[in-house]
Amino acid sequence: MLSHMNANVIAPKAHHRLEHIKKMSRWLKLVFLLYFAVVGLVLIFGHVKTPIRLGDQSYGSLAEVPALLTVCTALQSGLFLLAAIAFYRLLGLYEKGIIFSAENVAEIRRLGKLAIFNGVVSGLIKVGLTFPILPMEILFSRGSSSAV
């Protein structure tokens, strides 16, 4: 005889797996926070050195770095921070036992979009390092022809 299944009750085997997921998520969140604390300290205290390395290039000071590369690198750092926040939120959902929900899908979608956008920015950085970057005067002087 078939018994009715209650969709709101977790099977004993699945409950054990869910508890394991919760424990691992807590542990990963701790490791994640420690990683960012260490990286943050290294960036604060150890990154004030020269030369500044961006890709394959080295620059003696921040003033020597082309503006486009500075903007792209700052944008890439911001994307990394947003991805870290989304990942931490996803681990928080797993820690609460929320595995298959709209919130999870939204966080995974956010991570995917950030990864794609990061790839685009990385491509811009590589193009900026490969080709000489035109001075702003050349880029904006097309419309204004000043006769000397």
> Does 35 map to a domain?
yes
Q: Within the chain, how many helices (H) and strands (E) appear?
A: 4, 2
In a domain, 3, yes or no: no
Q: Considering the domain boundaries, does residue 6 fall inside one?
A: no
Per-residue confidence (pLDDT) for residue 116, from 0 to 100: 94
Is 72 inside a domain boundary?
Answer: yes
Q: Specify if 28 maps to a domain.
A: yes
Number of domains, the chain: 1
Q: Is 81 part of a structural domain of the chain? A: yes
pTM: 0.66
pLDDT: is 47 or 68 the higher one? 68
Could you tell me the residue range of the domain that residue 121 belongs to?
Answer: 13-131
Helix (H, G, I), strand (E, B) or coil at 81: helix
Element (H, E) at 54: strand 52-54
Q: What's the burial of 107, exposed, middle or buried (CB within 10 Å: 0-12/13-18/19+)?
A: buried
Q: Is residue 60 part of a domain?
A: yes
Question: pLDDT for 73-109, tens place per residue?
Answer: 888 889 989 999 999 999 999 888 888 889 989 999 9
Residues 107 and 141: their CA atoms lie apart, in Å, by: 44
Residue type, 8: N
Reduced to 3 states (helix: H, G, I; strand: E, B; else coil), residue 57 is strand
Q: Model confidence over 20-61: pLDDT tens digits?
A: 888 999 999 999 889 888 887 877 776 556 677 766 777 777
Q: Report d(CA 108, CA 112) in Å as an integer.
A: 6
Residue 71 falls within a domain, yes or no? yes
Sign, Cα dihedral of 69, 74, 78, 83: positive
- Rg (Cα) of the chain, in Å, rounded? 24
Question: For residue 118, which of 60, 74, 79 has the smallest C-alpha distance?
Answer: 79
